[in-house]
Homo-oligomer: A and B are copies of this chain.
Amino acid sequence: MDVKVINAMLKSLVKVFNETIHSRVELDKPEISKELAKGYDLVTVVGYNGYMEGNLVYGFTSELGMSIVSSMMGMPYDKLDDLAMSAIGELGNMVSGNIAMNLEKIGKPIDITPPSVIFGKEIHVNVDGLILKIPAHLDKFTFEVNMVMRE
């Protein structure tokens, strides 16, 4: 795993969360994994291809999702309706777009696809490839950002 790829992700996460929801995200040490965590309520998937190919997978709880949507909209928002899911998708799109920009700077250009936002219960996402997992914290919540790379 190229440390420059990891740094591209870390920089984008901090920058986009800071600019979009005006909250400082705290990141734990990145891990390499073969499996995504299970049990999220809200998952954003953004595919990518180009120099590398795979998916960026963002896993949130509904509580964090509503907190993020409230910050993005500038008003309390307490249900995950279509508008809220679109906002969560747009956040995934912005982070992923910023990651793509940082990867281009280091000579690893990728194209990203539009986001899909999945809401449900006991969600398990199966992907094929090596997973770069970044555990993250926002206020009292934790979430995960995963870059899945097909080998």
Contacts and interface: CB of A to CB of B under 8 A. Distances in A.
29 contacts: A45-B116, A47-B55, A47-B116, A49-B113, A53-B114, A54-B113, A54-B114, A55-B114, A55-B116, A57-B116, A82-B126, A85-B124, A85-B126, A86-B126, A86-B128, A89-B126, A89-B127, A111-B111, A114-B127, A114-B129, A114-B150, A116-B125, A117-B125, A117-B127, A118-B120, A118-B124, A119-B124, A120-B122, A123-B123
Interface string A40-54: 000101111100011
Q: For chain A, which range describes its interface: under 10, 10 to 19, 20 to 34, or 35 or more residues?
A: 35 or more
Interface in A23-63: 35, 43, 45-49, 53-55, 57
